[in-house]
Structure 1
Amino acid sequence: MIIRSPRPEETPALSDLAFRSKGYWGYDDDFMEACRQELTITPAFLQTSHVFLAEEAGNILGFYRLSVDETGAELSDLFVDPAAIGKRVGKALWNHLMDTARSLSIDHFLIHSDPYAEGFYEKMGAVRIGDIPSTVFPDRRLPLMKKQVAP
């Protein structure tokens, strides 16, 4: 498995992977369609965020997107192909994410977590600091997590 920057022409494949990964948790079709825009990765994201994918034998297994601006850093996306869940792809992406954060001198980042992903982030050392409204369903609350980045 290698971790590398994606090419602009790979963004549709990343969007598809994000959609399938979210759907892994059994959300209904209406919910998933409402989330489609939020799960769409555009070529512009490659210019404005730090995006890396995990690939093996030409197959994209997962990716993450770290957004950094003057207000701070946020793990905007971390998705693993459903066929690769439980095969240490998420852990490999997380380790790469931590190296990226250190290289950018980020001391912490926030995560607006899907409730089903909260356990993974806790295992990786993130802590829940509250909750936030969903950008898709304002009456739905999502875990807000924080991860300190050790030097």
Structure 2
Amino acid sequence: MGISIRPARLQEASYLTELALRSKAHWGYDTQFLESCRKELTLREGELSARRAAVAEQDGDIVGFTTLEGDPPQGVLGMMFVDPDVIGKGIGRLLFDHVVVTARELGFTQFTIDADPNAEPFYEAMGAVPVGVAPSGSIPGRTLTQLLRNVRD
């Protein structure tokens, strides 16, 4: 499959934002919902490094990305999106494994994930466990399941 993971480049911020919105749309959300999420899903050039944004690249094309945010020992998997054309092909697993390894190397002991309902089964399959709920950053009154993943496992 020839997939590599590398740090996001500054000029990729807007492309990653659009990838996030395309990926979210894969789950059948309507245009109004997606527009409500746009601000929260927007990445800016100046924050890519601080958010530890990493991309999955296949044959020169970006097919997914993730962010690992916060400071040790407690981090946050802030964003993880895979291009809809390759969902289900193992790219999410590669990105998640990258986050776990990176978190461990940086001294994190765990990270939380505020999961879209469609992504909960994936994160649970990756070893994350539900620990509560968190308010949506986009939709007032909507809550998301918060999961926790230990990285010392």
**Range class of TM-score, shorter chain:** over 0.9
Alpha-carbon distance, 1:71 to partner: 8.1
Match in the other structure for 2:141: 139
Query: Residues 50-69 of structure 1 correspond to what in structure 2 (within 5 A)?
Result: 50-69=52-71
Q: Aligned partners of 1:13, 1:19: CA distance in 2, in Å?
A: 10
Match in the other structure for 1:47: 49
Alpha-carbon distance, 1:39 to partner: 1.0
Alpha-carbon distance, 1:138 to partner: 2.3
Match in the other structure for 1:35: 37
Alpha-carbon distance, 1:70 to partner: 6.9
Runs of 4+ in 1 over 6 A off after TM superposition: none
Match in the other structure for 1:4: 6
CA-to-aligned-CA distance 1:11-69 (integer Å, 9 cap, x gap): 11111100100111000111011111111111122231211100011110100001013
Paired residue type of 1:32: L
Conservation of the 8 A alpha-carbon contact between 2:72 and 2:106: no
Paired residue type of 1:56: Q
Alpha-carbon distance, 1:72 to partner: 2.8
Q: Aligned partners of 1:28, 1:118: CA distance in 2, in Å?
A: 20
TM, length-normalised to structure 2: 0.94
What percent identity do the matched residue pairs reach? 43
Q: Secondary structure at the match of 2:49?
A: helix
Match in the other structure for 2:81: 79
Match in the other structure for 1:129: 131
Q: Secondary structure at the match of 1:47?
A: coil
* Uncovered stretches (5+) of structure 2, i.e. residues with no partner: none
Q: Aligned partners of 1:139, 1:123: CA distance in 2, in Å?
A: 27
Count of aligned pairs between the two proteins: 151
Paired residue type of 2:51: S
Assess, with a 3 A threshold, how the Cα gap between structure 1 residues 134 and 51 changes in structure 2: closer, same or farther: same
Paired residue type of 1:59: D
Q: Aligned partners of 1:122, 1:71: CA distance in 2, in Å?
A: 21
Q: Aligned partners of 1:136, 1:91: CA distance in 2, in Å?
A: 26
* Uncovered stretches (5+) of structure 1, i.e. residues with no partner: none
